[in-house]
Chain A
């Protein structure tokens, strides 16, 4: 099977690369081994001040509407972080005091939404809060099994019964000016968060839950749909194992499922993620990149990989594959000519790239530009 470009990794970086190349009329394939970082996405893409318009447009074309205004956003444990380019259902406020009286609505028996943490955080800002757990007969089927009351399962039901929630909230609402709801709306139907906002006569704020992230899964589905509509080949549940490389040029990729049918291409993009996504692997002696055996930045002594304080900047999180200025990864010190590394596999040492999602999109766009600008492209 021969493509113009083969992309390893089906997360944000891989999908942005694939969509951009398909739009330029190039044939691509994405090898995805399943879950990716979008499944625990906060809903905010870019923490840098300057947001490239291309990023916004690309998301918009996939049906992902974003917005940005300076200020803050509310985090699930009741804290605040600086505002960022975010999905439309993530509220951004000029100041942390975004209301006076707040009604926080949750579901009976739901432990993955932190209503009391939120209330405490908002009260610290001078707001008064009332928490109300809704008791919906439509969720009783989830209570039957003790491990089912989780965000995605609730979201599946909410796609059908969100109007019931609107009605219940309207009845509950006394003199509150703001309603906080868990982010369990609009898994399939992207219009739902907006319609809930229209239906409730108060400011509606959606606050995050424990993963999996419903807005994240929705984002992943929309990007994948866009990619496939543009004619891309998304190989779900497959995994790149090795590559055929001669003189620093990649010829084809071997995958678990395709066996002897190698994936050939002129260009290759490595968007296989960090440690969690297995783009980087580690053993007691070293950190390595499993498909190409690329050079990985790291301290030689394992003791130096960690900081004893968990929440500090952990050195290992900054490790990634070494590249030249054109994102060509190095193998034994020499750049691979037709391979580009994008997204989290680059490691976290590039503050100019912004947050993880920002890094994913920016580096993907850079790699695509280089591929398309080549004389023989």
Chain B
């Protein structure tokens, strides 16, 4: 068997691709995942990190709401180290219509979502950061989820089931014989190396970029890029998710995650060409702060760490050229049935919350085409790291009396924390002090999670995601990467790229402490370190 031949090729290293690869690999297929950049670089890593209860969709989109609550309960089981069970509130402010609350609660119940109206006073006690003027509150099982961790865990499990992953590799074209896709041409974007891979089925799981991939294959999908801007605050202002109890609108979700909290989002149609370069505008920043402060007044005086934007992969319901009939639901296209093109499947639409279901649907399609009769097990089998539900128990099992840093590592890695080298206390030295990431954890991410740049490391370890946004940890981690790759020249460029990436998220909010930090960073890197 040629080493370039697989049962299925999956294009796209976001959560949908990673989840599909895991499902396919667990059903015994030989899989290859190809990603042009790094894991979770598209919409997967550019959202709230909200573990939706589905309540947000209950009134307008009951089908999505039902999918969400089912997946919510599944993720709590199979991805416990990626999920924080924070609980959530839907609050009504004096300017909102309290009458909507009843409609909302009824719709939630119909969709199977536990929704409990509570006294505003209880809401103030449960969540002290909430606007004290609220006139109504509903409790729902929202939570938060770390999409980077979730994506890495899915990919890791696929690899543990024999899957192969090629990151920083671009699909440049398809190998087509008549009406059948036989494989893909690829080019490694770092080394320039070209390679062909073959499989009887290729899955397009590229989110908004799926339109382009489909075009390469010779079929058309109508996608509608919608930009959403978000802000990360430097403190965890709230401990529960706070939503507005009204028709979904701008900047009405505030999600706590690790040491920070995130407000979002906006929704703007953008031209397709802008998808690779979305930027947050000053108007969006103003809107997010103003609306956010209505839900949690402390936000108006809390330092903002970063602004970022993602692009939702909205798809027109099939073959509707007008784009009027847009769905946020899951779209799985078997192009053999739709376009007469064999060996090609597109899985798109949907959302982070329903990635597992999307993967299941895509894998069912792949299996049907390959005539493989295996059932899906992803709803019951925990991801690597989630075999134990409490990270404190995990930390205790490994270290007996774990330090704060070790507890932080266990919270990030779950049971996989035991695989970090700790036989030498030098491995426990901290590279990132904000997020307490050790030398051992960085080295593990380089060795086992395919991190090849500082930005890759950020997604896998939270290095540089804390208050200082990678001021010094970037430099320390660059030293470790240079050692692992034996290439300093590349690492110096990597460091410059990392600082540039950081600035992209910083200058839209460049005032106060952010501007202080930026002045300091430029001074240190340019004039003191000589970058």
Contacts and interface: CB of A to CB of B under 8 A. Distances in A.
Contacts of A149: 429
Nearest to A149: B429
A276 B479 contact: no
Contact of B428 (A120, A146, A208, A309): A146
A158 to B, nearest CB: 19
B531 A79 contact: yes
Nearest to A317: B519
A211 B516 CA distance: 16
Interface in B8-39: none
A310 B522 contact: yes
Contact of B522 (A42, A79, A308, A317): A317
Interface string B473-507: 00110011011000011011001100110111001
Interface stretch (B87-95, B179-187, B231-239, B431-439): B431-439
B399 interface: no
Given A275-B515, A276-B519, A310-B522, A76 B510 contact: no
B195 to A, nearest CB: 30
Contact of A42 (B476, B489, B527): B527
Interface stretch (A259-267, A299-307, A325-333): A299-307
Contacts of B527: 42, 355-356
B524 interface: yes
A120 B488 contact: yes
A282 B515 contact: yes
Interface string B502-531: 111001001110011111101111111111
A112 B524 contact: no
A317 B502 CA distance: 18
Interface in A95-116: 108-109, 111-112, 114, 116
A323 interface: no
Q: Which of A116, A274, A356 has the most CB of B within 10 A?
A: A116
Contact of B405 (A121, A143, A146, A310): A146
B488 A284 contact: no
Contacts of A121: 488
A310 B476 contact: no
B430 interface: yes
Given A111-B439, A120-B488, A213-B528, A146 B430 contact: yes
Contacts of A117: 479, 482, 488, 491-492
A77 B531 contact: yes
B425 interface: yes
A308 B439 contact: no
Given A40-B523, A143-B429, A78 B488 contact: yes
Contact of A108 (B426, B476, B500): B426
A376 interface: no
A314 interface: yes
Given A111-B429, A146-B428, A282-B511, A314 B522 contact: yes
Interface in A23-63: 37, 40-42
A116 B479 contact: yes
B156 to A, nearest CB: 26
Nearest to B509: A284
B197 interface: no
Contacts of B492: 77-78, 117
A1 interface: no
Interface string A122-155: 0000000000000000000001101101000000
Nearest to B279: A308
Q: Which of A37, A274, A311, A317 has the most CB of B within 10 A?
A: A311
A211 B524 contact: yes
Given A143-B426, A146-B429, A283-B511, A75 B529 contact: yes
A210 B475 contact: yes
A217 B151 CA distance: 45
Chain A facing B: main interface SS: loop
Contact of B520 (A116, A276, A281, A309): A276
A211 B405 contact: no
A170 interface: no
B479 A40 contact: no
Contacts, number: 130
A93 interface: no
Interface in A66-104: 75-81
A278 interface: yes
A116 B482 CA distance: 7
B218 interface: no
Contacts of B431: 111
B272 interface: no
Contacts of A41: 528
Contact of A111 (B286, B476, B516, B519): B476
A162 interface: no
Contacts of B520: 40, 276
A212 to B, nearest CB: 11
Q: Which of B403, B472, B503 has the most CB of A within 10 A?
A: B503
A112 B476 contact: yes
Given A42-B527, A303-B282, A311 B479 contact: no
Q: Which of B500, B519, B529 has the most CB of A within 10 A?
A: B529
Given A77-B492, A311-B499, A109 B426 contact: yes
A3 interface: no
A208 B475 CA distance: 13
Contacts of B523: 37, 40, 276, 356
Interface in A173-230: 208, 210-211, 213
Given A76-B528, A81-B530, A303-B282, A114 B475 contact: yes
A282 B491 CA distance: 34
B239 to A, nearest CB: 27
A303 B284 CA distance: 13
A120 B489 contact: yes
B528 A208 contact: yes
Interface in A268-317: 274-276, 278, 281-284, 302-303, 305-306, 308-311, 314, 316-317
Q: Which of B282, B403, B492, B528 has the most CB of A within 10 A?
A: B528
A311 B522 contact: yes
A283 B530 contact: no
Interface of A: 37, 40-42, 75-81, 108-109, 111-112, 114, 116-117, 119-121, 143-144, 146-147, 149, 208, 210-211, 213, 274-276, 278, 281-284, 302-303, 305-306, 308-311, 314, 316-317, 355-356
Given A116-B483, A117-B492, A302-B282, 17 more contacts: A77-B530, A78-B530, A111-B439, A112-B472, A116-B479, A117-B488, A121-B488, A146-B403, A210-B472, A274-B519, A282-B512, A283-B511, A283-B512, A305-B510, A311-B499, A316-B510, A316-B519
14 contacts: A37-B523, A75-B530, A77-B492, A111-B479, A111-B480, A116-B483, A117-B491, A143-B429, A146-B428, A306-B507, A308-B503, A311-B496, A311-B531, A314-B522
Top 4 closest A-B pairs, CB basis? A75-B530, A120-B488, A310-B503, A109-B426
Interface of B: 282, 285-286, 403, 405, 425-426, 428-431, 433, 438-439, 472, 475-476, 479-480, 482-483, 488-489, 491-492, 495-496, 499-500, 502-504, 507, 510-512, 515-520, 522-531
